[in-house]
C-alpha cells in the first residue's frame, strides 16, 4: 500500500491526513492548534506542524506529502533565512490604508487586469506596503517574501536559518504554487508571471520570490529531520507544490463545473473552479488561480465560524445548543438581523466596521432569535458572494458546504433557506488537507488521484427570500 499525506496549515490549527493512494481510504490523521491573533511567529506553525505530524503517527511509511495553508500571510525573510518579524495574516486589517494607496496609485481596473484582483487588506502586497511605511528598518532587511505554505514547504525540505536547518538559508529554493501566488497581488493568473513593478511599488525594492510550480510539479524531497522540536520525517519523501487552502479544498472535493464551494471556517469563502481567469474591477471577486491548472474566482468574508463561536459563548451554550436555539426561531428571526462584522469586513470592504444588531423589539429579542440571526447573518454574506460569482459568469448547480461550522445541522438547514441553489454537505472531513494528499499523489506518480467523496446530508431546498431581503435592507 502506498501512502500519501496532505497538510492544512490553517488559521486556527494544523491538520494532517494520511490516505491510501490507490483507494483514497483514510489511514490516520493528526492535528495541533495554532496561536490566536492576526500576527503570528511562523515558528509556531512549524511547531504545530511537528505536533500534528507526531499526532498522525509520523511520516515514516509515507511516500509523498504536500502542504496547503491559509492564503496571503506575509512571511518576510532576511538574507540569512531568518524570519524578520511575525507574519501578518490574511485577517489582519492594519494594511487597509496601504491597500487604498496601492489602488489609488495603479487604479482598480489596472490591478484587476494585471493580478486578477483588486487588493484589500488581506493581500500580501498591501502588507508589504504597510511594512515599508510603518517599519522601514524591517522592510530594508527583506531579502525574500514567502507565504505560509511556501515557508513550511521550504523548512520541510531542510532549508531555513543555518542554526535550525540541515541545508541552510538557500532563498532560491523557496517554491510556491499558482493558487497561493495569485493571492499576493504581484502575480498574474493570466500570464503566470510575477509583476515585479507591483512588488517594488509595495515593498520599495526587489527581492527573491518563490518559484511558481505547476500542479503536479514536485518541490523536491524531504531530508531527515528527526530530533527534539523537529517533525518526525524521514529523508526522501516527495514533497508536492502545496496550495492555498481554498484551492486545496477544491482539489480535495474534486469540485467540477457547476459546483460552488462554500467554506465556513475562520474565513467564509465562496468559490468555483473555472476554465478561464476572471476579472472583477469592483474588487468583490478575487480572480485566483486554482491548484489543478485552472482558475478559482473567490469571494471571502472575515466573519464566519467565529461569529457562531462568539454568539454561542454569549448565550452560554455549545455549538449544538446554538443550533437547537436557532432552529426554534422562525426564518427571519422575527426581524432580528445581525450584520456580523465583528472583525471589520473584507467583502464588502469595510475593514473598520463593527457588528450591529438590527430589528430589536421586545418580541424579537430572544435567545432563539439571536442564535438564528447569527447563522442567517453569516450565511447572507456568503449568499451575496454567490451572486457576485454569478456576475463573473459562474453558473452554480449545487453548493458544497464545508468547513468547521458546516458540521452544525442548523447551519446546514438554514443554508438551504438562504441559498437559492441546492446544498450538499460532503461527509465531515479535512478537505484542504485532502487536497494536499491529492497533490502529493499527483506529484509522486504524475497522475491525479480521483477519490470518491461521500455525501453526509442534502438538506431539502427551502429558499426563504425574507432572510436575504431583511439582511439587504441594512
Ligand X SMILES: Nc1ncnc2c1ncn2[C@@H]1O[C@H](COP(=O)(O)OP(=O)(O)O)[C@@H](O)[C@H]1O
Ligand Y SMILES: O=C(CO)[C@@H](O)[C@H](O)COP(=O)(O)O
DSSP class per residue in 227-242: BTTB----TT-EE---
Per-residue cell: 2: 502506498
Q: Choosing among ligand X, ligand Y, none, which partner's interface includes residue 364 (Cβ < 5 to 8 Å by kind)?
A: none
Binding window for ligand Y (CB under 6 A); candidates: 37-45, 69-77, 108-116, 225-233: 69-77
Question: What is the rounded CA–CA span in Å between residue 132 and residue 336?
Answer: 44
DSSP state of 164: G
Minimum CB distance to ligand X smaller for 347 or for 408: 408
Please report how close the Cβ of residue 274 comes to ligand X at its closest, in angstroms: 23
Q: CB count, 10 Å around CB of 265?
A: 24
Please report how close the Cβ of residue 14 comes to ligand X at its closest, in angstroms: 9
Minimum CB distance to ligand X smaller for 299 or for 405: 405
Taken in order 270, 274, 277, 282, the sign of the CA dihedral is negative
Q: Which residues are near ligand X by CB under 6 A?
A: 10-13, 265-266, 305-306, 308-309, 319, 403-405, 407-408
- Pick from 50, 71, 216, 412: which binds ligand Y (CB under 6 A)? 71
Q: Choosing among ligand X, ligand Y, none, which partner's interface includes residue 72 (Cβ < 5 to 8 Å by kind)?
A: ligand Y
Q: Choosing among ligand Y, ligand X, none, which partner's interface includes residue 405 (Cβ < 5 to 8 Å by kind)?
A: ligand X
- Pick from 115, 269, 412, 470: which binds ligand Y (CB under 6 A)? 269
DSSP class per residue in 193-228: SB-HHHHHHHHSS--B--EEE-TT---EE-----BT
Report if residue 347 touches ligand Y, rule: CB under 6 A.
no
Mention every residue, 6+ apart, whose C-beta is less than 8 A from residue 191. Answer: none
Q: Choosing among ligand Y, ligand X, none, which partner's interface includes residue 381 (Cβ < 5 to 8 Å by kind)?
A: none
CA 98 → CA 7, 130, 280, distances in Å? 32, 6, 20
Question: What is the rounded CA–CA span in Å between residue 225 and residue 207?
Answer: 28
Question: What is the rounded CA–CA span in Å between residue 103 and residue 345?
Answer: 18
71 is in an annotated binding site: yes
Report if residue 180 touches ligand Y, rule: CB under 6 A.
no
Report if residue 70 touches ligand Y, rule: CB under 6 A.
yes
DSSP state of 385: H
- Could you give the string, one character per residue 181-200, with x where binding to ligand Y holds by CB under 6 A and - elsewhere? --x-----------------
Minimum CB distance to ligand Y smaller for 171 or for 272: 272
Is 396 in a helix, a strand, or coil? coil
DSSP state of 397: S
Q: CB count, 10 Å around CB of 228?
A: 5
| Contact positions with ligand Y (CB under 6 A) in 370-429 | none
Please report how close the Cβ of residue 124 comes to ligand Y at its closest, in angstroms: 10
Report if residue 265 touches ligand Y, rule: CB under 6 A.
yes
Minimum CB distance to ligand X smaller for 278 or for 412: 412
Burial class (CB in 10 A: 0-12, 13-18, 19+), 420: middle
Direct distance between the N- and C-terminal alpha carbons of the chain, in angstroms, rounded to an integer: 56
Query: Are 342 and 303 contacting, i.e. CB atoms less than 8 angstroms apart?
Result: yes
Binding window for ligand Y (CB under 6 A); candidates: 134-142, 244-252, 272-280, 383-391: 244-252
Mention every residue, 6+ apart, whose C-beta is less than 8 A from residue 362. Answer: none
Please report how close the Cβ of residue 459 comes to ligand X at its closest, in angstroms: 15
- Pick from 115, 126, 222, 267: which binds ligand Y (CB under 6 A)? 267
Query: Are 306 and 327 contacting, i.e. CB atoms less than 8 angstroms apart?
Result: no
- Pick from 165, 184, 246, 424: which binds ligand Y (CB under 6 A)? 246
Q: Choosing among ligand Y, ligand X, none, which partner's interface includes residue 300 (Cβ < 5 to 8 Å by kind)?
A: ligand Y
43 is in an annotated binding site: no
Mention every residue, 6+ apart, whose C-beta is less than 8 A from residue 465. Answer: none
Minimum CB distance to ligand X smaller for 105 or for 320: 320
Minimum CB distance to ligand Y smaller for 237 or for 300: 300
Query: Are 444 and 21 contacting, i.e. CB atoms less than 8 angstroms apart?
Result: yes
Please report how close the Cβ of residue 263 comes to ligand X at its closest, in angstroms: 7
Question: What is the rounded CA–CA span in Å between residue 470 and residue 337?
Answer: 7
Taken in order 40, 42, 43, 47, the sign of the CA dihedral is positive
**Which residue numbers are catalytic?**
245
Report if residue 173 touches ligand Y, rule: CB under 6 A.
no
Please report how close the Cβ of residue 170 comes to ligand X at its closest, in angstroms: 30
Minimum CB distance to ligand Y smaller for 72 or for 367: 72
Per-residue cell: 467: 432572510
Q: Choosing among ligand Y, ligand X, none, which partner's interface includes residue 319 (Cβ < 5 to 8 Å by kind)?
A: ligand X
Q: Long-range CB contacts (< 8 A, 24+ apart) of 311-314? A: 311/338, 311/370, 311/371, 311/374, 312/371, 314/370
Please report how close the Cβ of residue 406 comes to ligand X at its closest, in angstroms: 8
Minimum CB distance to ligand Y smaller for 249 or for 371: 249
Please report how close the Cβ of residue 183 comes to ligand Y at its closest, in angstroms: 6
Annotated binding site for substrate: 71-72
Residues annotated as binding site?
71-72
Residues that bind ligand Y (CB under 6 A): 10-11, 70-72, 90, 122, 183, 244-246, 265-267, 269, 300
Amino acid at each position: 500500500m502506498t501512502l500519501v499525506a496532505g497538510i492544512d496549515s490553517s488559521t486556527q490549527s494544523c491538520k494532517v491526513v494520511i490516505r491510501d493512494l490507490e483507494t483514497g481510504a483514510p489511514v490516520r490523521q493528526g492535528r495541533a492548534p495554532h496561536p490566536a491573533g492576526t500576527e503570528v511567529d511562523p515558528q509556531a506553525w512549524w511547531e504545530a506542524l511537528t505536533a500534528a505530524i507526531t499526532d498522525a503517527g509520523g511520516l515514516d511509511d509515507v511516500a509523498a506529502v504536500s502542504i496547503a495553508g491559509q492564503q496571503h500571510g506575509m512571511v518576510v525573510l532576511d538574507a540569512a533565512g531568518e524570519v524578520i518579524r511575525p507574519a501578518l495574516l490574511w485577517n489582519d486589517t492594519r494594511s487597509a490604508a496601504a491597500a487604498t494607496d496601492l489602488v489609488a496609485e495603479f487604479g482598480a481596473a489596472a490591478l484587476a487586469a494585471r493580478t486578477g484582483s483588486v487588493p484589500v487588506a488581506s493581500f500580501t502586497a498591501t502588507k508589504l506596503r504597510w511594512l515599508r511605511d510603518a517599519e522601514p528598518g524591517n522592510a530594508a532587511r527583506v531579502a525574500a517574501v514567502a507565504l505560509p505554505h511556501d515557508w513550511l514547504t521550504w523548512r520541510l525540505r531542510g532549508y531555513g536559518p543555518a542554526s535550525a536547518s540541515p541545508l541552510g538559508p538557500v532563498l532560491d529554493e523557496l517554491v510556491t504554487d499558482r493558487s497561493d501566488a495569485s493571492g499576493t497581488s504581484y502575480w498574474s493568473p493570466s500570464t503566470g508571471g510575477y509583476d515585479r513593478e507591483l512588488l517594488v511599488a509595495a515593498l520599495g525594492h526587489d527581492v527573491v520570490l518563490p518559484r511558481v510550480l505547476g500542479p503536479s510539479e514536485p518541490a523536491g524531497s524531504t531530508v531527515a529531520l528527526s530530533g527534539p522540536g523537529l517533525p518526525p520525517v524521514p529523508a526522501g519523501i516527495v514533497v508536492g507544490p502545496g496550495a492555498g487552502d481554498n484551492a486545496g479544498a477544491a482539489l480535495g472535493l474534486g469540485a467540477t463545473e457547476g459546483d460552488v464551494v462554500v467554506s465556513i471556517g475562520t474565513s467564509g469563502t465562496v468559490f468555483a473552479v473555472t476554465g478561464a481567469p476572471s476579472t472583477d474591477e469592483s474588487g468583490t471577486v478575487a480572480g485566483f488561480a486554482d491548484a489543478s491548472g485552472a482558475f478559482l474566482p473567490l469571494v471571502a468574508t472575515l466573519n464566519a465560524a467565529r461569529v457562531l463561536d462568539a454568539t454561542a459563548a454569549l448565550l452560554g451554550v455549545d455549538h449544538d445548543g446554538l443550533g437547537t436555539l436557532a432552529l426554534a426561531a422562525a426564518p427571519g428571526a422575527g426581524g432580528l438581523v445581525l450584520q456580523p462584522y465583528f472583525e471589520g469586513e473584507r467583502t464588502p470592504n469595510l475593514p473598520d466596521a463593527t457588528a450591529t444588531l438590527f430589528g430589536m423589539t421586545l418580541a424579537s429579542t430572544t435567545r432563539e432569535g439571536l442564535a438564528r440571526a447569527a447563522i442567517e447573518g453569516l450565511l447572507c454574506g456568503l449568499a451575496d458572494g454567490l451572486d457576485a460569482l454569478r456576475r463573473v459568469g459562474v453558473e452554480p448547480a449545487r453548493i458544497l458546504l464545508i468547513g468547521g461550522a458546516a458540521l452544525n445541522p442548523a447551519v446546514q438547514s438554514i443554508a438551504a433557506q438562504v441559498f437559492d441553489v441546492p446544498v450538499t454537505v460532503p461527509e465531515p472531513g479535512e478537505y484542504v488537507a485532502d487536497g494536499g494528499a491529492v497533490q502529493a499523489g499527483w506529484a509522486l506518480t504524475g497522475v491525479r488521484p480521483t477519490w470518491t467523496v461521500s455525501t453526509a446530508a442534502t438538506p431539502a431546498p427551502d429558499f426563504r427570500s425574507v432572510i436575504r431581503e431583511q439582511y439587504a435592507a441594512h
